[in-house]
Amino acid sequence: MAYDVLFGVVLTFGAGMLAQWVSWRLRLPAIVLLFAMGLLFGPVLGWLHPSETLGHAFRPLVSMLVALIVFEGGMVLDIRQLREAGQGVARLTMVALPINWILGALAAHYVAHLEWGTSFLFGAIIVVTGPTVILPLLRSAKLQPRVAAFLRWEAIVNDPLGAILAAVVMQIMLLHVDLHKQIFFVHTLPDMLLAGAVSVAAGILPAYLLRYLFTRDLMPELLKVPIMVTLALIIFEACTLVMEGAGLIAVTVFGMMLTNLHIPGLNELKRTKESLVVLMVSVLFILLTADLHRAVLARLSIPILLLTLVVLFVVRPLCIFLATLGTSISWQERIFVGWIAPRGIVAAAVAGAAGIKLSEAGYASADLVMPAVFCVIAVTMICHGFSLGPLARRLHLTLSNEPALVILGGNAWSTDLAACLNEEKVPVLLVDTTAQELMPAARRGVPVLKAELLSAAGQEALEERPADYLIATTGDAIYNGMVCGHMAPHMGRERVYQVSPGVARLDLYRGLSRDARGKVLGEPGWNYTFFDTLFSRGWRFVCQSVTDATVDLFGKEENRLDLLIVRRGTGIFVRSAEDRAWTMPSMGDLVISMRAPESRDEGADVKEEAELRAGA
């Protein structure tokens, strides 16, 4: 027994992390790989039997992990984003949810021939577009901020509301109560409203308590994340005892309040929780999928498959169309949101528990709830996971998919670098805190942003532009390091660079800590003064496509400093002395170099000769 548990834990964690890495490397939706691994290890090979191995602890464990995932999802709900996309979010939650419920119930009854009670339960379950699926997909897609806000808010807000709705429907069915009878309005509805009020209060008050403790130095940094996680679990369990599903509302409100109270240092804590949530999502998807019995898969039938297609192509699009009538949402956004609605962990967990209870209560079609919901989950995760990016690009709802560079500091030579990249259609953004420093770049057609990247406003402004790499080029080495340290968790520590702070400061023991600065741009001696002096002597940045004649010259020619390699659709490789081995250019790459005046003239002659040969 102990060996089975250990084998299951190791297999689940290892497979989950492998799926996450492969999906990142190949730019695939991680959810689909996790789902496939769960099916492989569970129903197909029979290696994992989570509910049998863990027994009665399995469902509570799943509920706790779901609560923590929803809590982390609540921490990304910033009220400022709601103001920007508020009308659409309100329609997608308050209006679309009941429409989706009714249409889903009608489809279940008339297409899959489920009983009315079971049909309404199915409709309640599928209104949930889980954050466990949506949030990982949004991290890998460069959606426009407003569209991303629509999907994010809908998933996180509808998640607990859908769970509560399903719990109410199930409670009514177990009591065999007609919706029109007085008992619903006398008992069930007041209980539901009371549970909602208790949940909101239970989420708000602990958030203010944590702000009091954190801002008055009454909590050591080491305990902040454990205290937040523990409080979230206590809140979830306490509110779940009041009513099934109320705990999800409470932890969502708790997370949202923490974010909008703007507690200092919370961003670092959120990054720690994000890493934990990636692990939890990976484990949960594999466990829940592996726990599907072959008997459930055997109940899949033509009516259930037809029901799934109706949910995808009729219920969801019609629901979004009706809910967004009279709003400013564009037709592209309606099509996109009407299609993208993957279901996830909460739907699976609710369906599993509800199906068992209703079967024991004597409902004939209750055994079909889990297969029907599983089919919707599987098809939506696969179809929506793979189609989200292509559809968004087709509807022009994405930011640029080309690797993009942010250059911090509007000095003369960084402006020339940005202009050189911009002329070659490489996405680039020049950022500075003063408009005067940005004017020369703006005159040359370079996209500019006046913002402080260490501020919340600057970070929000940067989220609206594609940003994959950063080079800090200001004359203040400490400021460059602060910005690189601030942006490293978002972009990646190997993607933030700064001009050298000086050879002495790069000492690994006595110099600036690697965690407090970016990677060095070029060689240790290439500091700000070095580049500024070269520019004053006439050196300029030049872009050159790699050919057979130039492929082996990277970093070897005199009077030429090779700094960047741009590989279209793949990435930007920045030369750094801290790399053990340089990435060498390939045919078709773009090399950006700083060249002396005489070297630029020679390069122009070579380029002209190559063009003449190509024309001949």
How far apart are the C-alpha atoms of 65 and 495, rounded to whole Å?
Answer: 32
604 by Cβ neighbours in 10 Å (0-12 / 13-18 / 19+) ranks as exposed
Looking at the domain assignment, is residue 616 inside a domain? no
Q: Are residues 372 and 430 in the same domain?
A: no
364 φ, ψ (degrees, to nearest 5): -65, -40
Residues 6+ apart with CB under 8 A from 129: 151, 154, 155, 158, 159, 341, 342, 343, 344
Is residue 319 within a helix (H) or strand (E), and if so which, with residue range? helix 316-323
Q: Are residues 376 and 409 in the same domain?
A: no
Is pLDDT above 80 for 171? no
Q: Return the DSSP state at 542.
A: E
Split at pLDDT 50, 70, 90, the class of 616 is: very low
How far apart are the C-alpha atoms of 404 and 414, rounded to whole Å?
Answer: 15
Is pLDDT above 70 for 188? no
Predicted pLDDT at 489: 83
Predicted pLDDT at 608: 46
Q: Are residues 85 and 138 in the same domain?
A: yes
Tokens of 416: 């020339």
Give the DSSP letter string of 191-230.
HHHHHHHHHHHHHHHHHHHHHHHHHTT-S-HHHHHHHHHH
Summarize the confidence of residues 469-487 as an average pLDDT: 92
Predicted pLDDT at 261: 87
Is pLDDT above 80 for 134? no
Residues 6+ apart with CB under 8 A from 29: 23, 136, 137, 140, 381, 385, 386, 388
CA atoms within 13 A on the CB side of 273: 25
Predicted pLDDT at 86: 60
Measuring CA to CA, which residue among 483, 526, 484 is closest to residue 501?
526
Split at pLDDT 50, 70, 90, the class of 610 is: very low
Q: Are residues 489 and 385 in the same domain?
A: no
Q: Are residues 352 and 382 in the same domain?
A: yes
Compute, in degrees rounded to 10, the torsion defined by CA atoms 26, 32, 33, 35: 170
Looking at the domain assignment, is residue 613 inside a domain? no
3-state class of 284 per DSSP? Answer: helix
Looking at the domain assignment, is residue 494 inside a domain? yes
Q: Return the DSSP state at 505.
A: G
Predicted pLDDT at 98: 87
Summarize the confidence of residues 349-361 as an average pLDDT: 70
Place of tokens 């299951």: 8
Is pLDDT above 60 for 180? no
Summarize the confidence of residues 338-362 as an average pLDDT: 74
Give the DSSP letter string of 72-137.
HHHTT--HHHHHHSHHHHHIIIIIHHHHHHHHHHHHHHHTS---HHHHHHHHHHTT---HHHHHHH
Tokens of 36: 């496939």
The percent of residues in the chain predicted with pLDDT above 90, rounded, is 21
Predicted pLDDT at 533: 93
Looking at the domain assignment, is residue 35 inside a domain? yes
User: Which residues pair with residue 544 across a beta bridge?
Assistant: 591
| Stretch among 141-150, 355-364, 480-489, 542-551 having the lowest mean pLDDT | 355-364
Q: Are residues 413 and 391 in the same domain?
A: no
Contact 517, 480 (CB under 8 A): yes
Split at pLDDT 50, 70, 90, the class of 185 is: low
Contact 196, 249 (CB under 8 A): yes
Predicted pLDDT at 408: 95
Better pLDDT: 397 or 187: 397
Residues 6+ apart with CB under 8 A from 74: 156, 251, 252, 253, 254, 255, 256, 258, 259
Predicted pLDDT at 242: 79
Q: Are residues 372 and 421 in the same domain?
A: no
Looking at this protein, which amino acid is placed at residue 371? Answer: P
Of 360, 395, 430, the residue that ends a domain is 395
Split at pLDDT 50, 70, 90, the class of 231 is: very high
Of 364, 395, 426, the residue that ends a domain is 395
Looking at the domain assignment, is residue 614 inside a domain? no
pLDDT tens sequence across 533-586: 999 999 999 998 888 777 777 777 778 888 999 988 788 999 998 887 778 888
How far apart are the C-alpha atoms of 108 and 126, rounded to whole Å?
Answer: 11
Residues 6+ apart with CB under 8 A from 564: 405, 572, 573, 574, 575, 591, 592
Average pLDDT over the chain, rounded to an integer: 81
Predicted pLDDT at 181: 54
Split at pLDDT 50, 70, 90, the class of 443 is: very high
Q: Are residues 226 and 264 in the same domain?
A: yes
Looking at the domain assignment, is residue 609 inside a domain? no
Is pLDDT above 90 for 529? yes
Is pLDDT above 80 for 336? yes
Q: Are residues 374 and 328 in the same domain?
A: yes
Find the distance separating the first CA and the last CA of the chain, reported in whole Å: 76
3-state class of 591 per DSSP? Answer: strand
Summarize the confidence of residues 441-465 as an average pLDDT: 85
| Stretch among 116-125, 183-192, 235-244, 317-326 having the lowest mean pLDDT | 183-192
Q: Give the domain CATH number at 238.
A: 1.20.1530.20
pLDDT tens sequence across 72-99: 777 877 776 666 556 667 777 778 888 9
Looking at the domain assignment, is residue 279 inside a domain? yes
Q: How many CB atoms lie within 10 A of CB 519?
A: 20
Split at pLDDT 50, 70, 90, the class of 423 is: very high
Is pLDDT above 50 for 313? yes
Looking at the domain assignment, is residue 196 inside a domain? yes
Predicted pLDDT at 60: 82
Better pLDDT: 350 or 410: 410
Predicted pLDDT at 495: 92
Q: What angle do CA 217, 218, 219 make, to 5 degrees?
A: 95
Q: Are residues 550 and 498 in the same domain?
A: yes
| Stretch among 184-188, 236-240, 354-358 having the lowest mean pLDDT | 184-188
Predicted pLDDT at 139: 66
495 by Cβ neighbours in 10 Å (0-12 / 13-18 / 19+) ranks as buried
Contact 260, 76 (CB under 8 A): no
Tokens of 197: 């009020």
Q: Are residues 416 and 377 in the same domain?
A: no
- Which residue segment(s) compose the domain that 168 sits in? 1-176+185-395
Split at pLDDT 50, 70, 90, the class of 384 is: confident
Q: Give the domain CATH number at 562.
A: 3.40.50.720
Of 395, 417, 439, the residue that ends a domain is 395
Q: How many domains does the chain have?
A: 2
Q: Are residues 387 and 525 in the same domain?
A: no
Residues 6+ apart with CB under 8 A from 242: 194, 195, 198, 199
pLDDT tens sequence across 479-518: 999 999 888 888 888 899 999 998 888 877 788 888 888 9
Residues 6+ apart with CB under 8 A from 108: 114, 118, 119, 122, 123, 307, 372
Is pLDDT above 80 for 165? no
